[in-house]
Amino acid sequence: MIDSFSEIYDTHPEVSLDFKFVQEAVRNGTTTPFLLIDLDLVRIKARRFKAAMPRVQPHYAFKANPHPEIAKVLIEEGVGFEVASIAELDALLELNVPAPEIFYSNPIKSRQYLQYAAAKGVQWYVLDSVDELRKIYSVKPDASLYLRVDTQNLGSDWPLSGKFGATLTECKEIIQEAAHLKADLAGVTFHVGSQCRNVENWHVGIDNAKMVFDLMAESGLEVRLLNIGGGYPVRHVKPIPSIEKIGESVNDAIADLPSSIRIMAEPGRYMVSDSAYLISRVVGTAVRAGTKWVYLDSGVFQGLMETHEGFQYEVYTDHDGQDEIPCTVAGPTCDSMDIMMRDEMLPADLKEGDYVYIPNAGAYTTAYASNFNGFSLPQVYILNK
């Protein structure tokens, strides 16, 4: 057990933004909270992803961090995109991404959004129900379609199973209806869950996709696309499999697919998370029922939303190495759900005005932030443009 554990998990440290850049920004008096992003790391991650899976074309999940400078770097690296809305689509068209390279991967789309995307030249649309198939077909009968199937999310920190994904029975109904309409249902996709630490999930997903391909071919549909979705993890507090390990499993699973099938993936978190630090300051402290509470100027509503689902970040301070006590860490708003961490070991003398640094905070942080309760969003600063 121990042996296979050390074999699966990445013993090489993942890249992470160099702390000296953070210190420099702090010395320059940058106002907190802020997110500092190093684009060189985004480049490194894009290249590493492609090297690990040469046959798999990455299409960045724009929602993870829609900052245009990140998109520009990924365009330079030959990465495509995956969107869920018209605002995301427009932002990419503005950057001259060709519409046919933008995949519409939201399984439920409003008719108005579909009409807009179709008019702009988007060709590929996902679906996971007969109703959505009929809706897309009524707007754009010549759309290329891919079917999102339900798949196992075991060992993912953010399981996505349940909201989207057709079961096998539903797949059969959808395939039957597509064949009847003569709709171009040509692909299969799945999402293993975000921050997936179980390498097996992709293999299982691909095996299921092949089964659905067979059903599609039997119904006379022309299979051309396998989209293996997102979920590739980034180092936080728990060990993760390296992208190379995931790649080995994926490459093995796709080896017998004919070259007529285009293979793509939709990494979001993997591409951007470790390119950034979120830097905050302590606005106040309190002792409540014997526990120390630390209130930061960034909370659940200013970038740390993912802590709410049990997602754990590392936390650094300028007092590291000193006596630590379990603390509750909360955000600045008056909402009782604005609590990010409990029993987080932090220096006992952490006090008002001190800095708190959270590494690997480039994904699903500023993208989730709101102005709730009048607190500002973290400013975003970009290195190595």
Ligand X SMILES: *Cc1c(COP(=O)(O)O)cnc(C)c1O
Among 39, 42, 61, 118, binds ligand X (CB under 6 A): 61
Q: 229 or 241: whose CB is closer to ligand X?
A: 229
* Exposed/middle/buried for residue 114 (C-beta within 10 Å: 0-12, 13-18, 19+): buried
Shortest distance in whole angstroms from residue 330 CB to ligand X: 26
Among 56, 64, 143, 186, binds ligand X (CB under 6 A): 64
Among 33, 159, 205, 230, binds ligand X (CB under 6 A): 230
Answer yes or no: are the C-beta atoms of 48 and 243 closer than 8 Å: yes
Answer yes or no: are the C-beta atoms of 313 and 307 closer than 8 Å: yes
Give, as ranges, the residues between 249 and 268 that touch ligand X (CB under 6 A).
266-268
Single-letter residue type at 321: G
Q: 62 or 357: whose CB is closer to ligand X?
A: 62
Residues paired with 264 in a beta bridge:
57, 227
Q: For residues 246 and 54, what is the distance between their CA atoms, to the nearest angstrom?
A: 13
Give, as ranges, the residues between 139 and 198 that touch ligand X (CB under 6 A).
191, 194
DSSP string, 163-227: TB-B-HHHHHHHHHHHHHHT-EEEEEE----EEE--THHHHHHHHHHHHHHHHHHHTT----EEE
How far lies 292's CA from each of 238, 278, 298, 336, in Å? 25, 22, 18, 16
Give, as ranges, the residues between 320 and 379 that touch ligand X (CB under 6 A).
none
Answer yes or no: are the C-beta atoms of 324 and 294 closer than 8 Å: no
Q: 81 or 375: whose CB is closer to ligand X?
A: 81
Shortest distance in whole angstroms from residue 193 CB to ligand X: 7
Is 229 a binding residue for ligand X by CB under 6 A? The answer is: yes
Shortest distance in whole angstroms from residue 319 CB to ligand X: 32
How far lies 38's CA from each of 68, 77, 316, 370, 381, in Å? 13, 15, 19, 23, 9
Q: 45 or 332: whose CB is closer to ligand X?
A: 45
Please name which of 221, 222, 236, 329 lies closest in space to residue 284, comparing C-alpha atoms: 329
Shortest distance in whole angstroms from residue 232 CB to ligand X: 6
Shortest distance in whole angstroms from residue 106 CB to ligand X: 7
* Exposed/middle/buried for residue 1 (C-beta within 10 Å: 0-12, 13-18, 19+): exposed
DSSP string, 242-282: -HHHHHHHHHHHHTTS-TTSEEEE--SHHHHGGGEEEEEEE
| Catalytic option among 171, 196, 327, 334 | 334
Among 45, 50, 63, 135, binds ligand X (CB under 6 A): 63
Give, as ranges, the residues between 81 and 140 that touch ligand X (CB under 6 A).
82, 105
Site string for ligand X, 292-331 (x = CB under 6 A): ----------------------------------------
Q: 61 or 243: whose CB is closer to ligand X?
A: 61
How far lies 119's CA from each of 2, 100, 127, 208, 219, in Å? 55, 12, 19, 33, 30
Q: 270 or 277: whose CB is closer to ligand X?
A: 270
Shortest distance in whole angstroms from residue 326 CB to ligand X: 30
Shortest distance in whole angstroms from residue 203 CB to ligand X: 17
Return the DSSP state at 321: T
Tokens of 281: 């300051």
State yes or no: is 171 an active-site residue: no
- What values do phi and psi take at 283, rounded to 5? -95, -20
Binding range to ligand X, per CB under 6 A, among 230-238, 318-326, 338-346, 349-357: 230-238
Cβ atoms within 10 Å, residue 334: 8
Site residue total, ligand X (CB under 6 A): 16
Shortest distance in whole angstroms from residue 179 CB to ligand X: 25
Site string for ligand X, 266-285 (x = CB under 6 A): xxxxx---------------
Active site residues: 334
List interacting residues with ligand X (CB under 6 A).
Answer: 61, 63-64, 82, 105, 191, 194, 229-232, 266-270
